[in-house]
Every structure is written in C-alpha cells, then in structure tokens.
Chains A and B, each alone.
Chain A
Amino acid sequence: MSKIHVSTTINGEPAEFLASPEESLLDALRNTLNLTGSKEGCGSGDCGSCSVIVDGRLVCACLMLAVEAGGHSITTIEGIATGDKLHPVQQKFLEHAALQCGFCTPGFIVATKALLDRHPDPTETEIRYWLAGNLCRCTGYDKIVRAVQDAAAEMRGS
C-alpha cells in the first residue's frame, strides 16, 4: 500500500504528513515531523519514554499507528511549555533535580501533566501508580514524586 495522508493537530498546530501503515505515531513524530522530544526506550509500550497525550488521554506513541492520528489532537513534550515560559511541572522537575540523564524526562513530564489535569490533588500512592508505566533508571523515582507533588500544589494555587 502506498503511504496514507494524515491530517492531525499537534501541539495546537495543524500537521499533515504521509505515513506507511506499519509506522507508529512515534516513528512519524521523530522521523517525519522532526519532533524528537518523545523518545524510544523500548518500542513495546513498557517504558513510557514515548508518552504523548491524544485527545486529553495519556498514551504511548509507540502503541499507536501514525495513520490513527488523523482527526485527533496530540500533545507532545514540545507543546508543554508556553513559548519560553515553562509549565509548572517542567519547572518543578528542574528545581527538585528530578532528572539525571534526562532521557525519561519528556515522558514523565507529559504523563505528569496528564495526571494533574485530571487529578489535581493526588496522594503519593496515586502518583506512583499513575507513573508506573514510566521507567526511570537514574533517579529511583524519589525526586520525581516530590516534583510532582510540588507541581500539583502550585497548580492548585496552594
């Protein structure tokens, strides 16, 4: 089959591209659209490094076909900040040193935004279970959880 034309919205902007049926959304983001902020850690939905938000729903971009993106609204790490103003989640990750190598960080930030958009006051347990699909090998998760708690407090206006 020849490539399929996909029309979608990415980070608030219309995006059009051609995709082969077997390409994942992650492939399209990284290789066709030059949005390399979403990472491939495993390609099988087990690490969360490719986390994106589709129509307000947190998903792994490696578990969606690129051709499924048509007509939907996608948010990637590149769309979390507003211009040069960081999102509170990004800011708190920096303040809490919640990243070491930084490879899993885009996935965690997107997943955290998805969490706090739905659950503004999560407990530590709720945070850890929500983020269980995001693997980090560097931090042991401690500072990530603290950053999420602090971002939640700030976003609630506490």
Chain B
Amino acid sequence: MPSLNYVAPTTVSDAVKILAAASGPTRVMSGGTDLLVQLRTGRLKPELIIDTKKIPGIIGITQNADGGFTIGAATSGALLGEHKALAAAYPGVVEAACLIGSTQVQGRASLAGNLCNASPAADSVPAVVAAGGTVTIAGPGGTRTAAVESVVTGPGRTSLAKGEFITAFHLPPIVGKTADAYLRFIPRTEMDIAVVGCGVSVTLDASGTITAAKISLGAVAPTQVSVDASTIIGSKLDDAALARLDAAAQAVCNPIDDKRGTIEFRTKVAGVLARRAAAIAVARAGGRK
C-alpha cells in the first residue's frame, strides 16, 4: 500500500529544502480543510504532506508601518475576522474569508490554501484580487513577490515552481476613499460553494466620483476574471454605469454547467452581483475620509 509521510518543519528554509527535494507527489498544508477532503476521497494521493503551521510568522496578522497588512499564509479565516483593523480596512476580504465553509472550516481555512487549491469558486480569491493583494513566495531561489491573480493558472493548477510555497499575503494601505466588498451567490444561506462570487474595490474622489476600481469574478471561468472597470470609472455608479457594469460582467463569464449552476444562470447572476457589490463598495468608500 502506498504510504503517506508527514513533516512539520520549523523554518521557511527547512520547508523549502524538503519541498524541493521531494521526489513523489507532495502537498503543502496550511489549514488542511481542502486537503483532508481530497485525501479521503482519493482525489489526491500525496506521498508527503508538509505542514507549515509550525513556522514562526506563518500564522498572524501585522499592520505594517505604512498601514498595509501582512497576513501569514496559514492564518485562519476566523483570525482574519477577529482582527479589527483588518476588518475595518478590508471588510470585503474579511467577509470573503469568513464565508468559506462553516464556522468550523473558518477555524482552520487559510488564504493560502484557498488560493493554491485553485478552485475556480474559491471565495477569498476575487476579494483579494480586487483589493490588489500580493503574495510572498519562498523557494529554492530565495523569496519573490507576485500579484495574487498570477498564482492560479487553471482549475487545480498554480504558477508556483517546484520547491516554492506562499509564506505571506500583503494588502496595500488604504488611501483616501477606498473600500472593498465581496458578495457571492449560493442557493442556501451558508455552506455552499459559490455559484458566483464577486469582489470589488473602488476609490472615490471628494465628490464621490469613482476614480479607480477593480472588479473580480469567481466561479464563472476556469480562474477568476477581471471585469472592465472603465464601465464605472468616472461615474458615481448611476443606473447607466450599473447597467454597463452588469453587461461587462456577463461578457467576461465563461462558466460551465454543473450541479451548482447553469451557464445561463451564472452569467446573469454575475451581472447582478457585480452591481450589488459595487454599490456596497461605493457606499463604504463614501463613508471614509
């Protein structure tokens, strides 16, 4: 019978060494909430699991001097939800992380796991992408930084090279009237995988006009997709802008029919969520100084 090995290195460099040297199928584990399910169904058959949670700093949230945030890759959604400064600055990111699964799942699930599991429907990804998040990646060549949206290349696939793993997420400082929001559609009120997810970040000028925006859709394409922000930039999100946004959101959808939603339904709801999430983000940004 094939057997499974487990290690829990206590430094980044040890983790890199083990990961780079592993010859068989290997998985890095943070919260484990996706990994254990896939182990049990046999969808994944790793020979080695590398648990990162004993590495100092891999769990924890710091607000940097410039006001931005550094989030340890294995930090749980529950910890994100309890961090007052983070929740105030990035309510959308925090909402998204706290929608993953259940309270129990949020007690373990991490941004790194949610990202690197690379499900098209991952809840946190559209929110972190819209927020302009970046990741620090450790590997045999040292550390590098990458935009979050560059990590996932397809369902179940990432751009991480052999020996690489994510050690931290970074969110830029909130400047001026900038705020984010995340909405998802699910048939029940909790527990479901997103049928459509939408993360929006907007920046307003003093008059309330949108000067910058980023809109990311999840679960409607093999990876998250960006919606054309020019549809709302320069507007105060009036009805015409909302209609343009709705149409643009529907236009970038390339979903599948599956047990969670049809192509037609996902496309229509993408437009609906884009409008609604943008409205929330604009309202929040308007309330900032």
Contact = CB atoms under 8 A, between A and B. Distances in A.
Direct contact of A and B (CB under 8 A): yes
Interface of A: 1, 4, 20-22, 24, 43-46, 48, 51, 54, 57-60, 62-65, 67-68, 111, 114-115, 129-134
Interface stretch (B3-11, B128-136, B238-246): B3-11
A44 B51 contact: no
Contacts of B41: 44
Given A46-B191, A129-B190, A63 B104 contact: yes
Contacts of B53: 68
Interface of B: 3-6, 8, 31-33, 36-37, 39-41, 49, 51, 53, 76, 78, 101-105, 107-108, 189-191
Contact of B103 (A24, A46, A64, A130): A130
Contacts of A62: 36
Given A22-B39, A64-B32, A133-B190, A58 B5 contact: no
B191 A59 contact: no
Nearest to A51: B104
A21 B4 contact: yes
B260 to A, nearest CB: 14
A63 B37 CA distance: 7
A21 B31 CA distance: 15
B33 A63 contact: yes
Given A62-B36, A65-B32, A45 B105 contact: yes
B76 A21 contact: no
20 contacts: A21-B3, A44-B37, A45-B33, A45-B102, A45-B104, A46-B102, A46-B191, A58-B104, A60-B104, A63-B104, A63-B105, A63-B108, A64-B108, A65-B49, A68-B8, A68-B32, A68-B53, A111-B103, A114-B103, A133-B102
The majority secondary structure among interface residues of chain A is mixed
Contact of A133 (B32, B49, B78, B191): B191
Contact of A24 (B6, B36, B104, B107): B36
Query: 4 closest Cβ contacts across the A-B interface?
Result: A133-B102, A132-B190, A21-B6, A59-B107
A106 to B, nearest CB: 13
B6 A45 contact: no
Contacts of B102: 45-46, 48, 60, 132-134
Contacts of B107: 54, 57-59
B101 A133 contact: yes
Nearest to B189: A132
Given A1-B3, A63-B32, A68-B51, A133 B103 contact: yes
A51 B107 CA distance: 11
Contacts of B31: 63
Which interface residue of A4, A21, A44, A62 has the most chain B CB atoms within 10 A? A21
Contacts of B39: 22
A63 B36 CA distance: 6
Given A44-B40, A132-B189, A4 B104 contact: no
B254 to A, nearest CB: 28
